[in-house]
A and B are shown apart, each in its own frame.
Chain A
Amino acid sequence: MKSLKFILAGILFGIVMSKSEAISWFRIQEMFRFQSFHMYGIIGTAVVLGTLATFLIKKYKIRDYQGNPIVFTPKEKSVPRYLIGGTIFGLGWALTGACPGPMFVNLGFQYWAILVAIIGGLLGTYLYGVLRDRLPH
């Protein structure tokens, strides 16, 4: 049961990402060409509701199911790592039309070619780990 809840949350995520077509290369292209509200609607709704939920959790000091306080760790204050890292991420996002979550949803959808992008993602992550100390952060 302890593990099942995470699998179930993942299933819900996988279904909604595919049913709203957020895993589609075409939808990501449509977004980067500013030709439809669809992807902005998805992200926008998630952020507005997420902000409201985060605000309420902080305000009412809501605890998790084990009774521990829910903590939000602030991100480090730095610009280069977010700007450079983010830009590199964006280059890949528009090329494959998938970010890390949708990559795996696509795999379940049986677009087997995405396995190559997943392997690329692991190699990229590994190289970042190797070069980490030499990169501006």
Chain B
Amino acid sequence: MLELLRQPWPWYTSGAVIAFVMVLLLFFGKSFGFSSNLRTICSACGAGKHVKFFDFNWKSQIWNLLFLVGAIIGGFISAEFLSNGEAVQVSQATVQDLQQLGISKPEGIQPAEIFSLEALFTVRGFLVLLLGGFMIGFGSRYAGGCTSGHAISGLSNLQWPSLVAVVGFFIGGLITTFILLPLIF
């Protein structure tokens, strides 16, 4: 059993569990949306004193921060107990495309060229993560949600604004993939 759990899980288990988590949160009287935690953390750090957008009762969102803490613990459990340490089996075409950019084939879950501490302590490596994160934070709040809020919760509720947001996610993602990454790497 544990051996089975240690292998990578197929996409349909993941999709089903994500839908289950969404329904579970609805049953708890909440709604599934991860990026609002970033706003909550800003408020909890006192940003509401200077900026109206953060002046709300952030304590009502503590449940979502607890969900965030759970997500960190879940990642820890996977890494420590449910991992067989094998590399991600991405398609050969992706491996080849990325090698042309100078990103070596997967040895774990993340590329050393971006996630190793050596890469982090270079200007390029630091800026890729900082600016990438910055655009995720800015964009998700501007669009009123991220992958969980729009692509999962919003689309499940047949909200066309969420479809527009998801189209935007892909426009941005394709620009980075085919224009920015070849310039950066």
**Chain B 66-80 near chain A by CB (<8 Å), digits 1 or 0:** 111111111111110
**B75 touching A108, Cβ below 8 Å:** yes
**A87 touching B172, Cβ below 8 Å:** yes
**A37 touching B9, Cβ below 8 Å:** no
B2 interface residue per 8 A CB criterion: no
**A109 touching B131, Cβ below 8 Å:** no
Q: Give the interface SS of chain B, mostly helix, strand, loop or mixed.
A: helix
Most interface-central of A11, A91, A100, A125 (chain B CB within 10 A): A125
Q: Give the interface SS of chain A, mostly helix, strand, loop or mixed.
A: helix
How far apart are the CA atoms of A28 and B114 in the complex, in Å?
14
Number of interface residues of A (CB under 8 A): 112
**B133 touching A124, Cβ below 8 Å:** yes
Given contacts A13-B17, A25-B109, A105-B78, 19 further A-B contacts (CB under 8 A): A9-B67, A10-B68, A10-B69, A20-B8, A41-B11, A46-B19, A50-B155, A53-B23, A53-B26, A65-B29, A82-B168, A92-B131, A93-B136, A93-B176, A117-B133, A123-B134, A124-B139, A129-B54, A135-B142
Contact of B129 among A81, A88, A96, A105 (CB under 8 A): A96
The answer to whether residues A85 and B140 also contact, given A13-B18, A93-B169 and a CB cut-off of 8 A, is yes
Chain B residue contacts of A43, Cβ below 8 A: 15, 147, 151-152
The answer to whether residues A128 and B142 also contact, given A18-B79, A23-B109 and a CB cut-off of 8 A, is yes
Chain A residue contacts of B93, Cβ below 8 A: 33, 35
How far apart are the CA atoms of A130 and B15 in the complex, in Å?
36
How far apart are the CA atoms of A50 and B177 in the complex, in Å?
29
How far apart are the CA atoms of A24 and B148 in the complex, in Å?
16
B60 interface residue per 8 A CB criterion: no
**A104 touching B71, Cβ below 8 Å:** yes
B111 interface residue per 8 A CB criterion: yes
How far apart are the CA atoms of A46 and B170 in the complex, in Å?
18
How far apart are the CA atoms of A128 and B135 in the complex, in Å?
10
